[in-house]
Structure 1
Amino acid sequence: MKYKKGRDAGGGESNGDDGGSRKGGGDVPPSIQLDIMEHRAGGRGSGLGTGGPRSTSFFEPWREQTPGSGSGHGSSGRSGGGGGREPPEKRVTLLALRLAVLEKAASGVGMLDFMWATVVLLGGFASALTITDFWCVTVILVGEGARVFSRSHELEWQHHATQTSTAGGALRSSSRFFRHFVRAMADPAAAAVNGGGGGDARARAEMFQRQVVAFVKQRAWHAPDVSLLPYTGWVFVSRKIGRLLSWLQLLSAFTCVALSLMRLWKHGDLGGDGNMRPALLLFYTLALVEASLFLFEKAYWIWKCSVCRLLQQVSDECELGAYGLVSLNRFFYDAYSRCIAGSIFDGIKMDLVSFAEDLILSDFLDEQIIGVRILERFANSDRSAADTLRKVGTSPRSVERLVEMLNWKRLDEEEVRRCAAEVVSKLAGKRQNALRVSAIPGSIESIMSLLHTGRGPPMSGMHPPQQLVHGAAAADRETSPPAGRGYDHLPFNLLGLRILKKLARDHDNCGKIGNARGLLAKIVGFTEASPALLRNPHVTDSQVRAVKLALQVVKMLVSTTGNTGKALREEVAENVFTVSNLRHILRYGQQHRELQKLSTDVLTGMAMEDSGKDTIVGTGGVVKLLLSIFFNSQDTDLGREAGEALAMLVLESEAGCAAILKRDDVLDQLVSALQDDGDARRLNAARVLRSLCAYSGEKHRERLRAVTKALPAVLHATMVDSDKILEVSLGLTTEICRFIDGQRFAAELRSAGVADERAYVERLASILRQYRYPEIRVPRMRRFVVQQVIWLMTSSGGGRGDDGGGGYVELLREVGMERLLQSIADTTSELECYHVFSGSVGIGKHRESFSAIVDSALELIAGSSDGGA
């Protein structure tokens, strides 16, 4: 089968010129050509059933989007939108490289000086050295030897001593900890006041109690807070040791410079004969060079970080926020340590994303906060988002840890959880990353934990209570935070719904969402909106955002294709709150048009299944609201959505037709809508009228005769319109003709301004020539034309103009209808056998196949020809 890609939905006639150039039936083509329209991600939007640009409808199929066709992947470099600018942290790694070069040069010179002194001076001239030179050499050797051989250990101490805690260092030593612990237990407020000046004493007391709980529950020591010796307080805390070693190294270097300069300045006093004098000169020179390199290294570090404020500049450029310096200080020591411990080029291979990934895998909360903050900032930055999400998305351990963090419910982990949810939300925006997230066992359940409202059964996402956790009970990670003051669930609810919305773009993920126990009920629970809030003119956007996101997720679920979509639509319909919540929005949401549009979209999707139709019809007032919106709404898009929902509701549903016909003036309103200026309103009015005529049953047949008054307008549309309007006009004409005979039809043709019967027959033939192959945008076009041709032949009785029908059989043969029907018989497709479509899957098959209809038409036209002969 050959597929020819057509225009986008809503762009004129796809092959009108091509089809119009073919006269008569022509030769039967060797293959079938279908115009395929791509389904755009999220393309259903608010354009269900409109036929407008970039919109699709359940009345026409769409093709699933392939992973590479616009799924939204950023540029290959981090500088995506930054004009090719280099990542700012490269300046930090370059500083680490330069400092490492100076450090290794100093260490190399120091090692050479040490070996020269021990082998040559102390080994060969020890007895000949003066007392001054002996002690100078000894002091320099001890100081510089200790510095050279302990440099790596000093770096380790400095690295561990890097202040990473966001709590302000309340637990800096064991002795201070126990003092604060006793005070906090006796008088929390007083302990907090003594710990710092000003501010809210109660808030600080609660923060300190949370720190106490976290410290006690932590199963491993935090390196900067470890007291090396008992009863020594802050003196031998590990972070103090690093600072002490740093100052000792500076003291050693200054001592070395002073002694070397002193002896070189008075080189005439260097005693000894022969080679002793040059040996001492070389020793003091090497010692001076080694100490000078070290001091230059320290001076360069101070210049770049304190004077030039390099770390602050990089933090600002990376948009790391208030804790950027803490993060970059730790990042610098990591890079510097790698350059010192291994090759000098090891450190420049580091970047902040990899650094953050390592930190989130840590067991310590302060390190996790630093790592997840960096990822959250980078993921929300236009310049670095693409590269960050690609790197994190391809690291299974990082994705698993971020998903795991979504379950962390302790109050002191609130920021970690929020930042992790932000990153996961960004990851889910990329198709490949979304699949990786959903593939993690338990990921959907972790995301569902974000929807917790703190009120037991989910009610509404609009008013989650403000909550706070008091005391040690807040530290339990496995339980939800207890009700109180401060833990605001709404931001997490919004993030959870946003993640689900992005995951629901993929068909398989929709199935996983539906299979997660209780998740669909929680999502539906967020669609509830009170009348008071909907009517409030001063309501903020954040107050309705949860409802909007929940409606978007439900809409995507009920729009899912295939068997998965069928199961989801039935499950949504089974929820007793779904339609009631949608009814409230339709009734009271005049100030929130977007919510009303989403609600009508959900109703349209639900109405694809019989269970959904029954639920909607059985919920009082929903059909009346849809009719009112369709006839009276000033919002064109909203009226269009309501019209599509009504059209889907009455399709092959006698109960749906009966619900609409309860309104006395509905037929007059629908007939009047056929003459409206808006194509969308005419389109959906014709769809509803056609279904009313076809599926209302004998009970309403007499009342539906009033629809015949619409025939002139429908025939006029058949003659002048095209595309979807033409398709539905032909279908409505076929149904209206069941109430009239050939003579009445001829009169209606003249009322519509059609010159004669031949003009109408030629129009039908031209339509078949134009649509010689099935077209995805108007899949029922040829079916309706052939059905109308059959009615014309049966209503005319095979005559040649002496009856009421006007001799349509002869006219049909004259315009080449028999050859056209033969050509169509060889190009029929399953596409033309369904009322509506769920993606590329047909739903609601016609009672009679299209091929059978074409065969019946050929038999009629051939039989009439034989009878006439």
Structure 2
Amino acid sequence: MKYKKSREATRLESNGDGGSQKGGGDVPPSIQLDIMEHRGAAAAGGGGGLGTGGPGSASFFEPWPEPTPGSGSGHGSSGRAGGQEPPEKRLTLFALRLAVLEKAASGLGKLDFVWATVVLLGGFASTLCITDFWCVTVILVGEGARVISRSHELEWQHYATQTSTAGGALRSSSRFFRHIMRAIVDPAAAAAGGGGGRDDDARARAALFQRQIVAFMRQRAWHAPDVSLLPYTGWVFVSRKIGRLLNWLQVLSALACVALSVMRLWKHDFGDPDDSRNMRPALLLFYTLALVEALLFLFEKAYWTWKVSVCKLLHQVSDECELGAYGLVSLKRFFYDAYSRCIAGSIFDGIKMDLVTFAEELILSDFLDEQLIAVRILQQFANSERSASDTLRKVGTTPRSIERLVEMLNWKRPEEEEVRRCAAEIVSKLAGKRQNALRVSGIPGAIESVTSLLYTGRGPPVSGMHPQLPGAPADDKHGASPASRGYDHLPFNLLGLLILKRLARDHDNCGKIGNARGLLAKVINFTQASPVLLRNPHVTDSQVSAVKRALKVVKMLVSTTGNTGKALRESVAENVFTVSNLRDILRYGQQHRELQKLATDVLTGLAMDDSGKEAIVATGGVVKLLLSMFFNSQETELGCEAGKALAMLALESEAGCAAILKRADVMDQLVSALQDGDARRLNAARVLRNLCAYSGQQQRERLRVVTRALPAVLKATMVDRDKILEVSVGLTTVICKFIDGEQFAAELRGAGVADERAYVERLASILGQYRYPEIRVPRMRRFVVQQVIWLVTNSGGRGDDGGGYVELLTEVGMQRLLESIADTTSELECYHVFSGSVGISKHRKSFSDIVDSALELIDGRRQR
């Protein structure tokens, strides 16, 4: 079955890739990646999460709280929205009522049979008149055969509900061979059934029919509905016809029973009463029981026909379940299963069934038609809002069902395309729940099965050239094999990437993804997009959806915490296509801002480690593009992401600083950005601080321009809060390396600060406010203490040796504040960057040593 790419991609995007994750707050967070998926909130499609700039958002400059166990599982307490009953309950209730009538009729039939054989034929056989004898005999033979064969009739009817993969074309052995000969001689005519039509449609139908023939021929077991019971009989004795034949024979038997019983009860001329005093009541009882039993059976058939044919019960349930065109076949099979259980065992056995359990049983079948029924039902229920929670919970807690679905991801034959696609969509839904994702990834070979979905039908990329965009025409030399031509790989690529994205929310799964052989390279290959595609204003979402999902997967991998994240970042950085693919998106993706934002986030994550910094700097044009986006982007969010990447690139990297400073006007632009909105000046201040702190000595003269920013930075120190305040104090500490005490005093006055006392009091108030380490601003106290040390050692504003500032610091209680801080220092304040709750880039000097140095300096200057 063929699916249109645009429709498939649109529907898959609505499953979890469609919405943007924006949050509130005027001040964006520190350098960060959007790690909402790791917290489990993205599964619900909720609002503001991490990395959105709102309150409580996390960044690389602050530790991320560990997710609580079971977060993101999404298990609701109620099974159906609004308390609605599952539609299939109407079918199981119908089966229960039919079973009651059937068992009542069968019970009466057995009683009547015993009464006739023991009492009438056994006791009155010689005295019965010829009419009663033959009437009793006919009724006994007919009803006995009906009661005994009832279960077998149900079995035949049950088999009749099974459908062939060929869509009903293979009805019998004789027709089967006729179609084979027809397909060999004239495929188009065989597929079109002798009718006209367009050539393209005829060829497509012929190809589909031949694939169905191949699928049927490959089965190693007979398909029960199409078995011919006797040779040379054609469709007459095909097993799917036997059920109908037995059904009509039973109806005729019941009608004959009613007719004979009514006729004899109406005449009631049961012979000479003197011959046998008990024969008359015995015959009356027999005919009455036979009449009631036959009427019950006919009432059962009438009730069956009324509900199914007149009330259209199956159609109603199919519409409510939204099963589509295949719903009637699936529900008929489900109904017969429930009815057979009610008849074979307790009448209550059937009402314990539901469509999900029914599908889980069929999914283990060896027949493709049964597997197709199962995955269609599970796919529909997993996509339905009112049944998704129950369905995913039930399937997710059944190991054999998950294992079977994962196994189906490896099926690549053309006739199994729909089964594989439905299974992949179900697995993607299961992976959206945290607990189910752990179960999926825990199956041996599950990650490798997901990897098989990323096959594009093309060979590996030619050395020195980029891989082609998914969905683009393959080169003949390195193209798909003839067997895979016509197989639409894009929907499977999209589903595979979606499954990986949802699995990557868990830390352990990220490690498994990184360890899977060849998987990371395949994902990175999907991040490549040609300039022609990116510049095309008429491109559809489906054509770039694979690139978008691949970027999301890579982004989540490079933002993984701990040693696993470090190893993944190194693996991603080592791939020679990674940064060049991201560069193309930044350069040509102006019409796809979301792709550019994702590419920038990936670069920010890679820049956390030295290997990533080296790869970014070594790829020409990347830093220039980031600077251009930061300075010229009309979108605040995209510009902020570029600023975060630049700040991370310059952190403790002389090469990264040199790459940024290659642009002639970069310092002037950064200083000017300090006058813009909170988001831009926050990132500009971070970039400036890292440039001043980690650039080489040869860049010192160029960096002196940063002194022009000191008035704005001091003003921000006096009035701003939280992240802006933190980075402003930190930038002040590095700017002060380029000036002396007198210049600093002049800059204070230029910033509108009344006097030095006001500035010292502000520093003291900051330490008083942050008496304990704060996760949102982990370097706040470090920067303030470093500025206090500079005031004591390098300022001459109120004394030749800084003694004036010592007096002011003593007056505001700075020594007491420092002693209090010395008792509350923590490892949190010893790192530049955090990967989760693990510090990555450690300061050269611990915070406790800095506090001790400040106390010693103040004590030493006071004693002079």
Aligned residue identity for 1:407: N
2:560 alignment partner, SS class:
coil
**Residue 16 of structure 1 corresponds to which residue in structure 2?**
none
- 1:123-522 to 2 correspondence within 5 Å? 123-194=122-193, 200-272=201-273, 273-457=276-460, 462-465=469-472, 482=482, 486-522=486-522
Deviation at 1:796, TM superposition (A): 3.6
**Residue 69 of structure 2 corresponds to which residue in structure 1?**
67
Cα distance in structure 2, aligned partners of 1:41 and 1:155: 49
Aligned residue identity for 1:93: T
Stretch moving more, 819-828 or 175-184: 175-184
1:182-240 Cα shifts (integer Å, max 9, x gaps): 33223322333447786733233222222221122111111111122222221221111
1:127 alignment partner, SS class:
coil
1:240-288 Cα shifts (integer Å, max 9, x gaps): 1111111111111111111111111111355553111111111011001
Closer, same or farther: CA 709–642 of 1 in aligned 2, 3 Å: same
**Residue 765 of structure 2 corresponds to which residue in structure 1?**
766
Cα distance in structure 2, aligned partners of 1:556 and 1:301: 56
Closer, same or farther: CA 806–609 of 1 in aligned 2, 3 Å: same
Aligned residue identity for 1:57: S
- 1:721-732 to 2 correspondence within 5 Å? 721-732=720-731
Aligned residue identity for 2:471: P
Is the 8 Å Cα contact of residues 47 and 641 (structure 1) preserved in structure 2? no
**Residue 823 of structure 2 corresponds to which residue in structure 1?**
826
Which residue of 805, 809, 823 maps to 1:812?
809
**Residue 704 of structure 2 corresponds to which residue in structure 1?**
705
**Residue 55 of structure 1 corresponds to which residue in structure 2?**
57
1:370-425 Cα shifts (integer Å, max 9, x gaps): 00000000000000000000000000000000111111111111110111111101
1:506-525 Cα shifts (integer Å, max 9, x gaps): 00111111011111111111
Cα distance in structure 2, aligned partners of 1:735 and 1:665: 20
Aligned residue identity for 1:94: L
**Residue 16 of structure 2 corresponds to which residue in structure 1?**
none
Aligned residue identity for 1:810: E
Is the 8 Å Cα contact of residues 105 and 293 (structure 2) preserved in structure 1? yes
Closer, same or farther: CA 49–208 of 1 in aligned 2, 3 Å: closer
Closer, same or farther: CA 241–688 of 1 in aligned 2, 3 Å: same
Q: Is the counterpart of residue 733 in structure 1 residue 732 in structure 2?
A: yes
Cα distance in structure 1, aligned partners of 2:125 and 2:51: 100
Cα distance in structure 2, aligned partners of 1:195 and 1:138: 53
Aligned residue identity for 1:172: R
Stretch moving more, 193-202 or 351-360: 193-202
1:568-623 Cα shifts (integer Å, max 9, x gaps): 11111011111111111111111111111001000000000101001101111100
Cα distance in structure 2, aligned partners of 1:635 and 1:482: 47
Deviation at 1:680, TM superposition (A): 1.4
Cα distance in structure 2, aligned partners of 1:554 and 1:111: 71
Closer, same or farther: CA 666–91 of 1 in aligned 2, 3 Å: same
Cα distance in structure 2, aligned partners of 1:846 and 1:185: 77
Cα distance in structure 2, aligned partners of 1:524 and 1:548: 11
Aligned residue identity for 2:65: R
1:565 alignment partner, SS class:
helix
Is the 8 Å Cα contact of residues 573 and 606 (structure 1) preserved in structure 2? yes
2:832 alignment partner, SS class:
strand
Closer, same or farther: CA 465–289 of 1 in aligned 2, 3 Å: farther
Is the 8 Å Cα contact of residues 531 and 584 (structure 1) preserved in structure 2? yes
Cα distance in structure 2, aligned partners of 1:229 and 1:211: 25
Closer, same or farther: CA 826–482 of 1 in aligned 2, 3 Å: farther
Stretch moving more, 422-431 or 181-190: 181-190
Deviation at 1:700, TM superposition (A): 0.6
- 1:537-552 to 2 correspondence within 5 Å? 537-552=537-552
Cα distance in structure 2, aligned partners of 1:385 and 1:568: 33
Cα distance in structure 1, aligned partners of 2:345 and 2:288: 28
Cα distance in structure 1, aligned partners of 2:48 and 2:390: 32
Q: Percent of aligned positions with the same letter in both sequences?
A: 82
1:582 alignment partner, SS class:
helix
Normalising by structure 1, we get a TM-score of 0.91
Cα distance in structure 1, aligned partners of 2:384 and 2:53: 37
Closer, same or farther: CA 270–780 of 1 in aligned 2, 3 Å: farther
Aligned residue identity for 2:436: N
Stretch moving more, 373-382 or 543-552: 543-552
Stretch moving more, 236-245 or 428-437: 236-245
**Residue 862 of structure 2 corresponds to which residue in structure 1?**
865
Closer, same or farther: CA 659–520 of 1 in aligned 2, 3 Å: same
Closer, same or farther: CA 206–126 of 1 in aligned 2, 3 Å: same
Closer, same or farther: CA 50–194 of 1 in aligned 2, 3 Å: closer
**Residue 595 of structure 1 corresponds to which residue in structure 2?**
595
- The alignment yields a C-alpha RMSD, in angstroms, of 2.2
Cα distance in structure 2, aligned partners of 1:189 and 1:705: 80
Aligned residue identity for 2:142: G
Name the count of aligned residue pairs: 820
Cα distance in structure 2, aligned partners of 1:670 and 1:571: 33
Normalising by structure 2, we get a TM-score of 0.92
Is the 8 Å Cα contact of residues 24 and 48 (structure 2) preserved in structure 1? no
Deviation at 1:9, TM superposition (A): 10
1:518-542 Cα shifts (integer Å, max 9, x gaps): 1111111111111111111111111
Deviation at 1:736, TM superposition (A): 0.6
Closer, same or farther: CA 365–303 of 1 in aligned 2, 3 Å: same
1:843 alignment partner, SS class:
strand
**Residue 693 of structure 1 corresponds to which residue in structure 2?**
692
**Residue 523 of structure 1 corresponds to which residue in structure 2?**
523
Aligned residue identity for 1:157: W
Cα distance in structure 1, aligned partners of 2:468 and 2:164: 34
**Residue 640 of structure 1 corresponds to which residue in structure 2?**
640
Cα distance in structure 1, aligned partners of 2:438 and 2:736: 52
1:271-325 Cα shifts (integer Å, max 9, x gaps): 5531111111110110010010001001001100110001100000001010000
Cα distance in structure 1, aligned partners of 2:40 and 2:725: 28
Deviation at 1:625, TM superposition (A): 0.5
Closer, same or farther: CA 382–624 of 1 in aligned 2, 3 Å: same
Deviation at 1:65, TM superposition (A): 1.2
- 1:39-118 to 2 correspondence within 5 Å? 40-41=39-40, 51-53=53-55, 55-69=57-71, 71-79=72-80, 82-118=81-117
Cα distance in structure 2, aligned partners of 1:587 and 1:526: 17
Closer, same or farther: CA 232–198 of 1 in aligned 2, 3 Å: farther
Cα distance in structure 1, aligned partners of 2:329 and 2:758: 82
- 1:550-561 to 2 correspondence within 5 Å? 550-561=550-561
Closer, same or farther: CA 752–619 of 1 in aligned 2, 3 Å: same
